[in-house]
Amino acid sequence: MDPRVNAAAGSRADRYTRPTAIPGMKVLLAPHGTRGDVQPLVALAFGLRARGHEPSFLAPDNFVAWIRSCGFPCEPNGVDVHAHLTSSGADLGSWRWQRHHFRRVMIPALFEAFARTRFDPDIIVGTGVQLAAPSAAEQREIPYATIAFCPCVVPNNLAPPATVRTQGYPRWINRLLWDVGTPLAAFALRGLLNDARARAGLGELDDVMSHLAGDATILAADPDLAPLGDDAPATAVTTDALVLDRAAAVDAKLDAFLDVGPPPIYVGFGSMVAKRADALASHAIDAARALGRGVVLSEGWASLGQCVEVAHDVLIVGSVPHRSLFPRIGAVVHHGGAGTTTAAAAAGAPQVVLPHVLDQFYWGHRVARLGLGPSPLPVDLVNADVLTGRIDQALAEPIRGRAAAFAPVVASRNGVDDAVDHLQRLVAVH
């Protein structure tokens, strides 16, 4: 954990000294969202097991098989996030669609999943859009912790709320946006949650946002990439990013492709579902070719490779280990997810961020602010000419040198052990 952040937090640091060991703590990890919400908890699960604890998962249906393949017990939570986000009419950027999804699908399914689970935890840990876990913990009279991966989901003066696309405001404006936005978010969610809580036999909520934050909010993010302001809630603590550091090599086909010519450009949008997937893939390939580079095109949930013609300078891949791939890449063109941003920074790879929604605009701003890439380009504004210019900037000095110099400190950090400490402490004092 970074001492600068906790020193700025004042009394928060004093309350979170290293705890005495708690044997056999049963931890129910309940992520809900995309790969970026799930993978860090798999990293945490390995850390918990190494410390003698018993992690289990209640996770989106589409991640259950992968989590089980990592060796952890996992039950489905009743929602296939991939299927819903790739379905006709789905629009993650639309509050109207989100509200309908929350009311009709997600909230009922999550509450039902906790009601039927066979797991009997000592603590529940949530990430992403996990709206049922705090109520489940309340019902069981056990602590609940939420883990966030970006400061823009924790009220503080260094970042505006995730719904605000414009970045770089003065601290007082960021604080004002939180003061205005938090009650609005609470109002939007209060009725949805109270309806589900009533069906579960729980009372109505008044302070919705404090309820969702739980007994502690752990911001698991690199402190140089994503610092937390000194006015964050007293229940907010920090660790470095939760990195899944299990060894994995690239396959032989990708390895051979990487060995030919100058380092290629990686293009991937993770779990984002781009509306113009075929055009984006075409623009990215044209931009790389204009600069004499090949392309490693990660299909992701947007199926970027579905309309791409086979060529000697384009390799279409599925899920690949970023820790092994990114050090061999010329530049990483991505959506601006917390995990991808951190992995690229740790690899010393220059970044071109094309944000789609929410916190991705924050990460694009931070990459540019730190000199790790050019200014972010919203995905809806992408064309081949503009993207060529952004990638050209990323490949050149000073960005290339700055990214290389920044990498060692990020690569040396992993917040898993500190996160385990925080969870032990919550269980000990509850």
Structure confidence at residue 295 as a pLDDT band (50, 70, 90): very high
- In the numeric block, the tokens 């040198």 are attached to 401
- In the numeric block, the tokens 């939180």 are attached to 178
The CA-to-CA distance between both ends of the chain, in Å, stands at: 23
Per-residue DSSP letters for 298-361?
A: E-TTTTGGGGPPPBTTEEEESS--HHHHGGG-SEEEE---HHHHHHHHHHT--EEE---STTHH
Beta strands in 183-268 (DSSP E): 216-220, 236-239, 265-268
Q: Cα(235)–Cα(120) distance, rounded to whole angstroms?
A: 25
Name which of 88-102, 204-218, 399-413 the model is least confident about.
88-102
Over 70: is that where the pLDDT of 265 sits? yes
Average of pLDDT values for 168-174? 96
Average of pLDDT values for 177-193? 94
pLDDT computed for residue 269 by the predictor: 87
pLDDT computed for residue 7 by the predictor: 37
Average of pLDDT values for 278-284? 89
**Contact between 334 and 350 (Cβ < 8 Å):** no
pLDDT computed for residue 286 by the predictor: 95
Q: What is the pLDDT of residues 101-135, one digit of tens each?
A: 888 899 999 999 999 999 999 999 999 999 999 99
Structure confidence at residue 2 as a pLDDT band (50, 70, 90): very low
Tell me the pairing of strands 54-59 and 295-298. Answer: unpaired
What is the percent of the chain with per-residue pLDDT over 70, rounded to a whole number? 95
| Cα 53 to Cα 202, 237, 263, 424, distances in angstroms | 30, 21, 42, 10
Residue 412's CB is within 10 A of a number of other CB atoms, namely 9
3-state secondary structure of 76: strand
Average of pLDDT values for 323-337? 95
Q: Which domains are delineated in the chain?
A: 3-243+414-429 (3.40.50.2000), 252-411 (3.40.50.2000)
Over 60: is that where the pLDDT of 310 sits? yes
Q: What is the pLDDT of residues 52-109, one digit of tens each?
A: 999 999 999 999 999 999 999 999 999 999 888 888 777 777 778 888 888 889 999 9
Average of pLDDT values for 309-329? 91
Q: What is the pLDDT of residues 8-62, one digit of tens each?
A: 333 344 444 555 567 789 999 999 999 999 999 999 999 999 999 999 999 999 9
- In the numeric block, the tokens 């996770």 are attached to 59
Average of pLDDT values for 166-185? 96
Name which of 6-20, 91-105, 169-183, 185-199 the model is least confident about.
6-20
pTM for the predicted model, two decimal places: 0.92
**Contact between 360 and 270 (Cβ < 8 Å):** no
pLDDT computed for residue 17 by the predictor: 55
Q: What is the pLDDT of residues 231-260, one digit of tens each?
A: 999 999 999 999 998 868 889 999 999 999
Q: Cα(245)–Cα(319) distance, rounded to whole angstroms?
A: 16
Structure confidence at residue 301 as a pLDDT band (50, 70, 90): confident
pLDDT computed for residue 22 by the predictor: 72
Select the more confidently predicted residue: 330 or 281. Answer: 330
Phi and psi at 214, nearest 5°, equal 80, -165
Q: What is the pLDDT of residues 346-373, one digit of tens each?
A: 999 999 999 999 999 999 999 999 999 9
What is the percent of the chain with per-residue pLDDT over 90, rounded to a whole number? 78
| Cα 204 to Cα 133, 185, 192, 208, 232, distances in angstroms | 15, 16, 11, 9, 26
pLDDT computed for residue 19 by the predictor: 59
What letter would DSSP give residue 158? T
Q: Tokens for 246?
A: 């299990």
- AA letter at 273: V
pLDDT computed for residue 9 by the predictor: 37
| Cα 12 to Cα 9, 99, 146, 161, 237, distances in angstroms | 5, 34, 16, 22, 7
pLDDT computed for residue 300 by the predictor: 81
pLDDT computed for residue 6 by the predictor: 40
Per-residue DSSP letters for 24-72?
A: T-EEEEEEESSHHHHHHHHHHHHHHHHTT-EEEEEE-GGGHHHHHHTT-
Q: Cα(302)–Cα(288) distance, rounded to whole angstroms?
A: 20
**Contact between 323 and 248 (Cβ < 8 Å):** yes
Mean pLDDT over all residues of the chain? 91
pLDDT computed for residue 18 by the predictor: 57
Q: Cα(219)–Cα(151) distance, rounded to whole angstroms?
A: 7
